Amino acid sequence: MAEPRADAPARLRAQQFELTRHLRDPHASPAPAGIEERRLAVYRDLLFNNIEGLLAGNFPVVSELLGEQRWTALVRDFYREHRCRTPLFPELAREFLRYLEDRDELEPAFLLELAHYEWVELALQLSDAALDPAEFDADADLLDGVPVLSPLAWPLAYVWPVHRIGAQFQPEAPPPQPTLLLLRREADGEVRFSELSPLAYRLVERLGESPELSGREQLQALAAEAGSDDLASFVVQGRALLEQMRSNGVVPGARADRSV
């Protein structure tokens, strides 16, 4: 048996890089010598079609609005130019979003926010975040206790009304007011969204920013931010909002102490 060449690992690595460069960009990078073109064509089509199919499933509205030609060109540019930080297929959608974030211009103008909105739905479906039931009391008072925000409830603010964009609605300019949404994964595994008022959005945001405060302290601080001159009524309305959040699982309960 012939002895292996001393430079075999280096040669193999070089051949692998040559092959991957060709698969990413066959027009700019020649195929490695000694590989049948028919087999190369199978690899080229299989790899790209797998990537395109996965992304189309992750971003159905984006792919539909762009149309086959523009969508395919965008995915091919991603396939050719972007260097992924992870080899995990479940992270492919996040890598595509990073690619879009790095581009100078996107058309239509709402494309990046729409892609982010579609990615968030996937991210919530895949998230393994959970609260330990021992950390909170589902029946505790949400004013005197410390409200606990579910890790599967995400407040989101967009310039564009991303939840309404589709084939029949493609705005050319953003509305004067931001779009404030709450996306949450419910017990059945479904991701659902609801629109939030500015005060409700800020309350959810504050629960994440200052998780050590009681519900009363959160509402008092929020009233000061809003410039309310009727603190008692503000707290009453805020309690009702917290109870509504408890009913839909956004705030599953409260801690009796200040531990976080």
Cα-based torsion angle of the residue sequence 227, 232, 238, 239 in order, rounded to the nearest 10 degrees: 160
Same domain, 174 and 246: yes
In terms of domains, do 95 and 146 share one?
no
Residue 41 — very low, low, confident or very high, per pLDDT cuts 50/70/90? low
Q: What is the pLDDT of residues 216-247, one digit of tens each?
A: 999 999 999 999 999 999 999 999 999 999 99
For residue 46, give the CATH number of its domain: 1.10.150
pLDDT at residue number 15 = 60
Quick check: is 66 in a domain? yes
In percent, the amount of the chain with pLDDT more than 70 equals 82
Q: pTM of the prediction?
A: 0.84
Residue 48: its pLDDT value, please? 82
Same domain, 138 and 250: yes
Query: What integer pLDDT is reported at residue 34 of this predicted model?
Result: 60
Q: Does pLDDT of 206 surpass 50?
A: yes
- Note whether residue 119 is domain-resident: no
Q: How far apart are CA 238 and CA 88, in angstroms?
A: 42
Please count the structural domains in the chain. 2
Which pLDDT score is estimated for 2? 36
Condensed to tens digits (0 to 9), the pLDDT of residues 52-73 reads 999 999 999 999 999 999 999 9
What value does the mean pLDDT take over residues 82-89? 75
**Rounded mean pLDDT of 149-154?**
96
Tell me which of 24 and 132 has the higher pLDDT.
132
CA atoms within 13 A on the CB side of 256: 5
CB 220 within 8 A of CB 213: no
Question: Does 127 map to a domain?
Answer: no
If asked whether residues 98 and 185 sit together in one domain, one would say no
Cβ pair 122, 58 in contact under 8 A: yes
Question: What is the extent of the structural domain holding 166?
Answer: 133-255
Q: Are residues 192 and 247 in the same domain?
A: yes
Evaluate whether residue 91 is within a structural domain. Answer: yes
